[in-house]
Structure formats: structure tokens, C-alpha cells
Structure 1
Amino acid sequence: MAAKKLSKALISEVQKWGCLKQTGVSLRYMMEFGSTPTQKHLLISAQFLHKELPIRIARRAIELESLPYGLSQKPAVLKVRDWYLDSFRDLRQFTEIKDTNDEQGFTQMIKMIKVRHNNVVPMMALGVQQLKKELNPKILYQIHLDEIHQFLDRFYMSRIGIRMLIGQHVALHDPNPPPDCVGYIHTKMSPMEVARNASEDARGICLREYGSAPEIDIYGDPKFTFPYVPTHLQLMVFELVKNSLRAVQERYMDSDKVAPPVRIIVADGLEDVTIKISDEGGGIARSGLPKIFTYLYSTAKNPLDEFLNSDSTDAMTMAGYGYGLPISRLYARYFGGDLQIISMEGYGTDAYLHLSRLGDSQEPLP
């Protein structure tokens, strides 16, 4: 896979934009701004993105050039870098946004950019795999992969922000938005309902994979709602419940005891909404706990293995390349929350998903 020849002009422009300051937005601001999506508001939003997106994309493109251990030269990483450079070029070639026609053209273009970047996560995972395959296992444990982890945290956090900004702008064009929705944000989201949907999806996957699945019990106030992005919460709860189901299922598979249910508790505090997901799946050894938030560790079989030798870039399942937990934690942190995992080896695991209720925290800008 030959990397593109890059023009000097493009490189210097990327360098220039990568030095400019990013501007973060809060959930509350997105909600208030988008609550009246007039043509004037959409124009202002497009003008903001026209200036903001090239800065964020340039920063990532620059970082992709200078990764440690030769990661930048891996074919999959070069492919991701090319996607970022193409998107940067598209944004810069779009001249000023002066009227509704310009705004509509710009919206179509950023929609395309979002699609172009759909497979960034599996593609980067593939690059890291390509690196791991080459490194001697002895060296792999001696070198500190911290640099790569910190890079991936910044890289994926930035990607969440870019996709949120594009998705939010595009969704504000919906002529018939669902009730109480402002773009991606649901102003009266029921965490109980989202947790129920996400856990049913996770249970479906468990049934398909193992032929049976533990029960899931959900506790909390079904009438309680708060403003949040349901797709983000869905992704996080799905990931955590899927892990719990897998642990319980594998622990009780050959036992004549009934598998204990996975319990989900939704608590609404003044500052935080906390969702606790508890299982009796045997827990994680304390020595293994630091690893669960790294990008180079998964207990599931790896779907990337069959993908490594092919040139295909199909979207892949979240399971198996070990990114579910670290990426879920980034989603939680993106709007000022967090994710903590507490485990009792020999018994089970509790995951605490904290979501900030105030919606005031600025995007964390890597």
C-alpha cells in the first residue's frame, strides 16, 4: 500500500493550522444553541466548524506523523493519516460560507468526512497490531507502551469531539426532529430506558454466542430524565453489560448452578447520574486491572487476526479488539463524567459510570 506523496504546500498548511488554538464547547451550549435551528444559527454553526475542524484535524494529522516505535509507518496508520489529510484538504478548499447555499454544500461535505472516518478505530487498532506482530514479545514488555496509550487516548478523544460536532450540526437540519431532541442531544433522556435497550442488545449478542445468557435486573426511577447524548450512553452501557454477561456466562457455563443476574442500578444525584453495573463473573485479578484500560489487551478472541492479512476495511464489531473499555471511558469523560472499574477477584466486578448532570464541562481538548 503506497503512501501518497505529500505536497510541501499541504504539509506547511497542516503545520500552520495545527498550531492554532482549539475551541471547546459544552453540552449545555450545544443544547441552547441548537434549540432554535434557524438558518442564521445554522450559518453561524457552519462558519464555526469551517474554522474549528481544520484545526482539530491538522493536530491529529501531525501527531500521526511522529508516533514512536515506527508506528507511523505501518500501512494501516498511513491509511488513517491519508483520511485525515484528505479531510483537511476538503475543508480548506471550501471557500467562505456566506449564505444558506454555501451552508448546505458545507453540510454535505462534512457528512462525507464523517463517513470517510467511520473505520478509524479498527484501522488504528490494526496498525497497533501490525506493530505488535513485528516487535519481539520480550521487547514488547520492556518498552513502555505508555506513549502509544497516551497518543491513542488523545486521538480517540479528539475523534469523539469531531464526530459530535459534525453529527450535531448535520442533525440540526432534520426537518422533523424527535420530540425533546436537539440534534444528538436528548433533553429528557431516561437513563433507565437507554440502559434497558443497551442491555437487551448485549444480551442478544451473548445468546447468539453462547446459546444462553444471564438475566439482567435494572433498578432506578423510570420517570427520571436528564439531558445527554443517548448514543454515547448506549455505547458505554452496552460495552459494560456485554463484558459482565461474558464473565458470568463463562464462569457458569459448565456448572449446574443458575447463573446469577447482572444488576444495573441507576442513581440520580445532584451533580452526577451514576450507573452501576454489577456482576458475579469471578472478577479480575488485581494485577490485571491496570491492563483493562489499555489498547493492547483483550480477553476475547481477536477479530483483527483474520483481518490482518486482508486489505479490506469493513467495519468490525466492538468486541475483541480490546477497545471497548478505554473508549467507553473517553465517552464518559468527554462530557465531564468518568468510568471506574472495581473488582473482587473470586467474586465479581462493579463498573461505575459517572455522567455529569450539569452539562457545563467544556470538551476536553487534547
Structure 2
Amino acid sequence: MSMWKMSDALRHQIYKYAKLPQTGVSLRQMVQFGPRPSPGTLFHASYFAVHELPIRLSHRVRELENLPLGLSEDPSIRLVRDWYAQSFEELMSVEEPELSDEFRDMLLKNKKDDFMWEGEDSNVKRNYNRNSFVFEDDGVIIRKSNRHDEDSFAEIENSAEPDLFLNCDNNVNSTENEEFEKPLGLKTYFQHAPNDIIYPKEVTDYNKLVTNILVKIKKRHDATVATLARGVQNWKQKNNYKYLNSPINQFLDRFYMSRIGIRMLIGQTITINQQSQKNMQNDDYVGIICLHCNIKEIIRDAIDAARFACEEHFDVMEVPKVKLYCPSDLTFRYVPGHLVHMLFETLKNSLRATIEHHSKLNPGIDLDDIKYPPIKIIVAKGDEDITIKISDEGGGIPRSAVPLIWTYFYTSAEKQIKEDDLQDFHNSHKVPFMGLGVGLPHSRLYARYFSGDLKLISMEGYGTDVYLHLNRLSSSTEPLQ
């Protein structure tokens, strides 16, 4: 357990900030940075993050301290609360940079900015170095992809690139904001600053300082899903609850959705700064957002990762194959890491269910000798959505259990996760292959973050179809309330 302890003075400050409403950040604001933002533009983003993140963190600390039915007293829940409070304290300790009035006014003055970088709305697709962008979050790690044989993939045509927008959790009434106002420059995440001037050293030093602090904070919170899971599981077992009640599920939905938003803001701020500092600019990426996200490429990455995890878990040489039917040129603006996460979780479920179901149908036969039906992934482009359908023949789910799959810590896996597995998950941040009961509801939150959705239809005795809807019509200029 952490030796850090929250003081009464810090708690008072946190509760004071928890009265402030959050500031929404649209996807358009995030992509307006372009691949080569100026130090001044990065400064404004860093400054925004330093002053906005404590507000978001304070909301979570307050909620973690006021959970119903004694859940707040669980040691793992208190540890997560301390991580959020400690991160709040570190951000509040960042010293304001000393700038001349001229630079301060230029970098932080609130103003409407319709700046558009060249190519922002371009339909031109560019090749990009996929190896330079590694997704690593919540235990899912995607690096260089290893392709399956092309024979296992069928192709169709067409492309698309919708606008999307970011989710923001404004669940605090703005009338509560009477004690103090937000600092200067907090109305927008993006504000254009010229590239053709020499910025003082204080600007670049501040950008590096904020980047280093955010990297440290992001790493601290890597184990949040595991630790929160352990706390709720312990509380659930202690109170002999078979399923979680509605208030706890609602809390977990709010908490995990907020965590996605916090990590989106942290990850974007870190990456745009690192890409600039290390001269890693890429015309297809603005931070962690890919402007022309190729769905087929990302699905293949998720297939490789899920099949490898399945092979490792079941200790077999060959797991069910996956057939992909997708346009080769279907692209749109999205965060590849989010899409990988959703696909990885749903594919894991399909692979596991297929192996377990067909091992029952073939008793006494070694898993490597069973001929499994393939899992099929079909991608279609509509006027409103890009839809990804994942179909398996894994035996399906009983109709009475379908509502339960969207509750946390319910799992249809035959082997439930053990306390030792949760401890290993906490130590390594590696997601257990099955039995945690977070994957589907968490993935649905990722889909809904950009106004999409995740739905499931089951045929008990045969298999399951999962539909991942990615919204194509949402406004990129309006934050989700």
C-alpha cells in the first residue's frame, strides 16, 4: 500500500475544486493542433491540462469518499482515492511560469480561434509509420503487428471519415461555482500561437515540466481498473452479494467513463508535446488521434493480439481463425487505441466461448485437435454509423443472463478469476484473459464516449453476435454533456 496520506487541508482544497464544473473539450479542438504545433500552442494546452485535470480528479475523489453501503472503506477503493488525490496535489504544485505581459496575453487570453491547420479537413490519405505509435493502456499492448495469412481475409470496398467529439462529464451544477473562478485561459484546450517567433525558455521548460508530470500521473493510474476491481470484488464477497446492485453499477459507469476522459486529455497532452520535443511529427496523427484511421488495419492488430492471448491462456498451438470482411480503404477520424481496446475485449470473449463450447461438444479430444468454426467480422459503412459485427459459434448466452453481461464483475467464463489472479493483475497491469467481468461494460463505455454503442444478440446453443456502432454524424465542435 502507498505511504502517501491525504491531509485535511488537501481534502478541503479538493472538495472546493469539486464544486467547479468541468470544461468540455471537442475533438475538433484536439485535432486543430495539427502535426506541428508551435511551442506557444503547446503551452496553452499544457496550461489548460494543469488547471482542468484537478477539477476532474477532485470530482472522483469526492465520489470515492461517498460511496454507498460502506464501499468507500475498502482498502483498495481508498488506495484508488489516494492516487487521485496525490495526482491532484502534484498538479496544484506546478508553479506558474514567469512570462511578460505580452506573452501571457498572447498565450492565455481567452478568445475565439477559428485557426485551421493545412490539411485538417483534407480527404487525402497518407501512409504512416505504424511502428512509431504504440498503444499501451489498461493492460492492452499493441506494437508491431504480425499478419495472418491473407487467405483468411476477404475484402470489399468504400471509405468514410466522419467527425466525432469528446465526452465530458459535466455533472456539477454551474451555480455551485461561487467560491472562485477558473484561472485565465481555461475556456478552450486549443488556442493558436504563431510559429514564426522566438519563444522564451520559460515556455518550453513549462511544456517539458508538464509532460513529465503527466507521464508520472498516467503511470500511477495504470492499475486503477485492477485495483478498483479488487476492491469491489472484496466488498461483494464480504457482503455475500451475488450481483452488484444498481447504485454501484452506476458509480462504476460514471467512474470508468470519467477515467476514459481523463486519460484522453492526459494522453493527448503528453503525445503532442513528445511528438514536438522528439521531432516525431506525423501527418496522419495529431497526438493520439489518427485523422485517417484505417479500420481494417486496426481490426487486424486486435485479431493478432486476441489470438495470441488466447493461445497463451489455453496453451494451444492453434485457436479459432478469424475471417474479416472489410473495405481496404475504409478510414475515418478516431483514436486507434480505443478501437483496439473494444475489439480486443469482444474478440477475447468470442475466442474463449468458441473453445469452451466446442470442447464440450468434443469430450476427450485434445484442444489442438478440435476443428473450430471461424469467427467472422463484417464491417459495413452506413449513413449514420460504421458498424462492426463480430459473430461466433460459441454456444451463446442464456436469455436470462443477457442483461447481466452489462453489469460489472458478472462473467460467463467457466473459470472465475481468483484473488491471486487479481493480485497479479494489480502488480503487472496485464488484463486477465477472462473472468474479471469488466471487459464488455467497459468496452461499451469506450464506444459511447464518441456517441457510438455496443450491442449483443445471443442465440443460446449456437452463438453470439456483437455489434459495435461507431458514430459518423456527431459534431466535432460540440462537447458531449
The Cα offsets for residues 36-59 of structure 1, whole Å up to 9 and x where unpaired, read as 421111011011112210000000
Q: CA–CA distance in 2 between the matches of 1:106 and 1:352?
A: 39
Question: Does residue 1:161 correspond to 2:261, yes or no?
Answer: yes
Q: CA–CA distance in 2 between the matches of 1:187 and 1:306?
A: 41
**Equivalent position amino acid for 1:164 in 2:** M
Question: Does residue 1:344 correspond to 2:447, yes or no?
Answer: no
Which residue does the alignment assign to 2:216?
A: 112
How far has the Cα of 1:35 moved from its partner? 4.2
SS at match of 1:313: helix
Match of 2:327 among 205, 218, 221: 221
Q: CA–CA distance in 1 between the matches of 2:385 and 2:50?
A: 33
How far has the Cα of 1:67 moved from its partner? 0.8
Question: Does residue 1:185 correspond to 2:289, yes or no?
Answer: yes
How far has the Cα of 1:302 moved from its partner? 3.9
Question: Does residue 1:315 correspond to 2:429, yes or no?
Answer: yes
Question: Does residue 1:171 correspond to 2:277, yes or no?
Answer: no
Q: CA–CA distance in 2 between the matches of 1:285 and 1:179?
A: 48
Question: Does residue 1:289 correspond to 2:385, yes or no?
Answer: no
Distance 1:96 1:79, change over 3 A: same
The Cα offsets for residues 149-169 of structure 1, whole Å up to 9 and x where unpaired, read as 111111111111111111111
User: Do the aligned partners of 1:3 and 1:78 also contact (CA within 8 Å) in 2?
Assistant: no
Distance 1:263 1:312, change over 3 A: closer
Which residue does the alignment assign to 2:166?
A: none
Cα RMSD, aligned residues only: 2.2
Bigger mean CA offset, 354-363 vs 329-338: 354-363
User: Do the aligned partners of 1:318 and 1:324 also contact (CA within 8 Å) in 2?
Assistant: no
Which residue does the alignment assign to 1:356?
A: 471
Q: Which runs of 5+ in 2 are unaligned?
A: 100-202, 363-369
SS at match of 2:467: strand
Q: CA–CA distance in 1 between the matches of 2:405 and 2:69?
A: 22
The Cα offsets for residues 329-351 of structure 1, whole Å up to 9 and x where unpaired, read as 11111111111111111221111
How far has the Cα of 1:304 moved from its partner? 4.6
Larger Rg: 2
**Equivalent position amino acid for 2:431 in 1:** T
Question: Does residue 1:26 correspond to 2:26, yes or no?
Answer: yes
The Cα offsets for residues 151-199 of structure 1, whole Å up to 9 and x where unpaired, read as 1111111111111111111111212134401110111111111111101
Matched ranges for 1:242-261 at <5 A = 242-255=348-361, 258-261=371-374
**Equivalent position amino acid for 2:320 in 1:** P
How far has the Cα of 1:3 moved from its partner? 8.0
Q: CA–CA distance in 1 between the matches of 2:312 and 2:56?
A: 40
**Equivalent position amino acid for 1:30 in 2:** M
Greater helix content: 1
**Equivalent position amino acid for 2:406 in 1:** F
Distance 1:246 1:296, change over 3 A: same
SS at match of 1:81: helix
Relative contact order (C-alpha < 8 Å, sep 6+): which is higher?
A: 2
Bigger mean CA offset, 125-134 vs 355-364: 355-364
How far has the Cα of 1:281 moved from its partner? 1.1
Question: Does residue 1:68 correspond to 2:64, yes or no?
Answer: no
Q: CA–CA distance in 1 between the matches of 2:416 and 2:215?
A: 31
User: Do the aligned partners of 1:126 and 1:304 also contact (CA within 8 Å) in 2?
Assistant: no
**Equivalent position amino acid for 1:350 in 2:** D
Q: CA–CA distance in 1 between the matches of 2:344 and 2:422?
A: 26
SS at match of 1:326: helix
User: Do the aligned partners of 1:185 and 1:228 also contact (CA within 8 Å) in 2?
Assistant: yes
Q: CA–CA distance in 2 between the matches of 1:312 and 1:336?
A: 30
**Equivalent position amino acid for 1:60 in 2:** R
Bigger mean CA offset, 267-276 vs 158-167: 267-276
Bigger mean CA offset, 99-108 vs 280-289: 99-108
Which residue does the alignment assign to 2:341?
A: 235
How far has the Cα of 1:32 moved from its partner? 2.0
Q: CA–CA distance in 1 between the matches of 2:465 and 2:54?
A: 40
TM-score of the superposition, structure 2-length normalised? 0.71
Corresponding pairs, count: 361
Q: CA–CA distance in 1 between the matches of 2:285 and 2:332?
A: 12
Q: Which runs of 5+ in 1 are unaligned?
A: none
Matched ranges for 1:89-108 at <5 A = 89-97=89-97, 98=99, 99-108=203-212
**Equivalent position amino acid for 1:56 in 2:** R
User: Do the aligned partners of 1:161 and 1:363 also contact (CA within 8 Å) in 2?
Assistant: no
The Cα offsets for residues 85-115 of structure 1, whole Å up to 9 and x where unpaired, read as 1000001111224522122211111111111
How far has the Cα of 1:133 moved from its partner? 1.9
User: Do the aligned partners of 1:294 and 1:326 also contact (CA within 8 Å) in 2?
Assistant: yes
Which residue does the alignment assign to 2:171?
A: none
User: Do the aligned partners of 1:334 and 1:363 also contact (CA within 8 Å) in 2?
Assistant: no
User: Do the aligned partners of 2:379 and 2:388 also contact (CA within 8 Å) in 1?
Assistant: yes
User: Do the aligned partners of 1:3 and 1:79 also contact (CA within 8 Å) in 2?
Assistant: no
The Cα offsets for residues 122-163 of structure 1, whole Å up to 9 and x where unpaired, read as 0000000110121134xx56xx61111111111111111111
Q: CA–CA distance in 2 between the matches of 1:181 and 1:15?
A: 37
Distance 1:250 1:90, change over 3 A: same
Distance 1:152 1:12, change over 3 A: same
Match of 1:275 among 388, 391, 394: 388
How far has the Cα of 1:311 moved from its partner? 11
How far has the Cα of 1:78 moved from its partner? 0.8
Q: CA–CA distance in 1 between the matches of 2:395 and 2:81?
A: 41
Q: CA–CA distance in 1 between the matches of 2:349 and 2:327?
A: 24
Distance 1:246 1:312, change over 3 A: closer
Q: CA–CA distance in 1 between the matches of 2:426 and 2:357?
A: 35
SS at match of 1:25: coil
How far has the Cα of 1:2 moved from its partner? 8.6
Distance 1:237 1:309, change over 3 A: closer
Question: Does residue 1:122 correspond to 2:226, yes or no?
Answer: yes
